[in-house]
Amino acid sequence: MTALQTERAYEGVGIVQRQYLTWTEPLTLESGQSLGPLTLAYETYGRLNAARSNAILLLHALSGDAHAAGRHSPSDRKSGWWDMMVGPGRPFDTDRYFVICSNVIGGCMGSTGPATRDPRTGRPYGARFPVVTIGDMVRAQARLLDALGIDQLLAVAGGSMGGFQALEWITAHPDRVRGAVLLATAARSGPQTMAWNSIGRRAIMSDPRWRDGDYYGHEPPADGLAVARMIGHVTYLSEPSLEEKFGRRLQHGDGPAFSLEREFAVESYLDYQGDTFNSRFDANSYLYITKAMDYWDLPGQYGSLDAAMARVEGRTLLISFSTDWLYPTAESRAIADALARQGRPVEHVDLPTSAGHDAFLIDAEAQRPIISGFLDEVARGA
């Protein structure tokens, strides 16, 4: 890498801008209801080539959004959620690829969701927003690609719920995807995951400030959303990472207070996670997105996992993480094995880590050469 390339790779994609597309034609949902007008917020990085063959769609997890890389202003304290992977010289190399990321429908970062005004009433949808599925999210993304003039993607890539969307892409729209990168994900939500999501939703809906979803213009259900985030965040970590970060350390070194107050360092950390989540996320969106995750069941949709994987036409890379107990290695292995049984080109790598489920967002070094090499193969048509 030249000095200029090294400098550009360090800088990443720089200052970026959120964009919006709105369709007046309603989107028919799996529930039979329709949603419209429909807006998707999205960002793009790099340039679409003349053949329109170098586009990659990034798919975010539960708490993510369209802002995958760069900063919106020089004063931003944080870059996009996958900034370490997107930019010149990075795996999603913006010197080579046109990278797209959109906020899912049901979200709260610019796309149509519960906080959006219902055109029939002029008030925010709230709990009157229709229930959406992973398939609905992907159909909305397909509209975005149509509007951008992209018939086929070089690849889709996502972790956790982003992996759900990537799996939906390669089974529901296999002719539009040449490759898929699936990280820390699963072909269905199992009962344990559904149980954690249900507890989080119960916490929000039990907060008296939820007001049956009509809290806009009032105090939001901050306590309920904070508890939901704290519960969810624990599932993203691992026992080794918690032990390493906090152990049984007290916030103050004077010994136990023998009170009911929060005094352990891990308690303070979870309080912080709950408080910061409230500053950027909508409680109703949390309800709707986790419900979409619970409905996710690819084997149930097609009759079996093998039948689902028989639909895949491109190459697939799966990366799992050794301490992920939310979507453990066995989930990725099951997908890889089903693809192999169908004679589809597939690679599965299980990476050792202490970071748990969150490893796909923070353990970049081990992932970079694997993803870069895979995308090279897809681009070459190997």
Report in angstroms the alpha-carbon separations of 309 from 170, 185, 329, 339, 377.
Answer: 9, 15, 18, 5, 20
Nearest-angstrom CA–CA distance, 44 and 58:
10
- At 31 the pLDDT is 98
pLDDT computed for residue 5 by the predictor: 45
The question of whether 304 is a catalytic residue gets the answer: no
Q: Do β-strands 315-321 and 98-102 pair in parallel, antiparallel, or remain unpaired?
A: unpaired
Residue keyed to tokens 């190399």: 93
| Per-residue confidence (pLDDT) for residue 10, from 0 to 100 | 53
pLDDT at residue number 382: 57
Active-site pick, 79, 111, 160, 238:
160
Q: Pick the catalytic residue from 83, 136, 282, 324.
A: 324
Q: Residue 289 carries which side chain, given as an amino acid letter?
A: I
- Domain 3-189+297-380 is found in CATH 3.30.565.10: no
> What's the CA gap between 281 and 78, in Å, rounded?
16
| CATH architecture for segment(s) 194-289 | Orthogonal Bundle (1.10)
Q: Give the model's pLDDT for residue 252.
A: 84
Looking at residue 253, its pLDDT comes to 76
pLDDT for res 6: 42
Judge whether 173 counts as a catalytic residue. Answer: no
Residues comprising the chain, all counted: 382
Mean pLDDT, contiguous 10-residue spans, the chain (382 residues)? 45 94 98 97 98 98 97 94 97 98 98 97 97 98 98 98 98 98 98 98 98 98 98 96 95 87 94 96 98 98 98 98 98 98 98 97 97 97 72
pLDDT at 2: 45
Would you state the pLDDT for residue 11?
77
b/e 273-287 (16+ beta carbons within 10 angstroms → b) = bbeebbeebbbbbbb
**Is residue 160 among the annotated active site residues?**
yes
Is residue 166 helix, strand or coil? helix
pTM, full prediction = 0.96
Percent composition of the chain: helix, strand, coil (DSSP 3-state, to 5) = 40, 15, 40
Domain ranges of the chain: 3-189+297-380, 194-289
Question: By three-state DSSP, how is residue 228 classified?
Answer: helix
